[in-house]
Amino acid sequence: MAAVDYPPALKRLAAQLRRLPGIGPRSAERVSLWLLGGAEGVRCREVAEALQEAADSVRACPSCGFFTEAELCEMCADPQRAGGPLCVVEQATDILALERTGVFRGRYHALGGRLAPLDHVGPEDLRIGTLLQRCRAEPPAEIVLALGADVEGEATARYLAELLRAEFPGVRLSRIAQGLPAGGGLESADELTLSRALSGRVTV
């Protein structure tokens, strides 16, 4: 006698959910059963609609790479941000993290990743061409490199700094600071963080 199991459509749903980040096999099964638990499959349909709507209407802003439903995202469309500083980040999701600090009010540019030769990610795989085009079309007051403090982030920042300094010698080029994380004591900081905090010390 073949083992009894859930119907194929339920298993296909669980298989799709298992692909999502942070969802393991057990949690995919649990979520599938919950989704099918509503009357007449209403839960499934509501989530399916939200997915369909997001797929249909959300796209990447052709200028900065952030998410938008319009032609341009609200930051690229905002005339008050024109001619201000331009902040270069790795991922579109980094933009909102920086924006939420409230410290920076300029435009952004998401590269869509960082240089990683071991993963076969070269300059041509990143949105570097569009970055240069944007800077040529409307030279920013400053270019802020807000890339990760890891090896790939460092390498990407160094590569971009060289490129941008050569083409836009008049534009101020900066990198976000490295040092102690807020709330962190010296005892919990590693050697590299401490050495960077020291060499990046600011006069008070």
Task: For residue 175, give Cα distances in angstroms to 34, 44, 60, 145, 189.
Answer: 47, 46, 25, 5, 21
* Cβ at position 60, least distance to its own copies in Å: 9
d(CA 134, CA 63) in angstroms, rounded, equals: 8
**Which residue, 125 or 154, is less far from its own copies as judged by CB?**
125
**Which residue, 92 or 160, is less far from its own copies as judged by CB?**
92
* Cβ at position 46, least distance to its own copies in Å: 6
The set of residues, in sequence order, having a beta carbon less than 8 Å from that of 165 and lying 6+ positions away, is: 173
**Which residue, 102 or 183, is less far from its own copies as judged by CB?**
102
**Which residue, 33 or 194, is less far from its own copies as judged by CB?**
33
Residue of 203, 199, 162, 161 whose CA lies nearest to 180: 199
Q: Which residues bind its own copies (CB under 8 A)?
A: 1, 3-10, 12-13, 15-17, 19-23, 27, 30-36, 40-58, 67-69, 74-75, 78, 80, 93, 95-96, 99-100, 105
Q: Is the dihedral of CA 33, 38, 40, 45 positive or negative?
A: negative
* Cβ at position 37, least distance to its own copies in Å: 9
Residue of 138, 139, 117 whose CA lies nearest to 126: 117
* Cβ at position 39, least distance to its own copies in Å: 10
Which residue blocks in the chain are alpha helix, DSSP H? Answer: 8-18, 25-37, 42-57, 74-77, 92-101, 128-137, 151-167, 191-199
* Cβ at position 192, least distance to its own copies in Å: 27
**Which residue, 65 or 140, is less far from its own copies as judged by CB?**
65
Asked if 65 and 110 touch (Cβ cutoff 8 Å), the reply is yes
**Which residue, 78 or 154, is less far from its own copies as judged by CB?**
78
* Cβ at position 44, least distance to its own copies in Å: 4
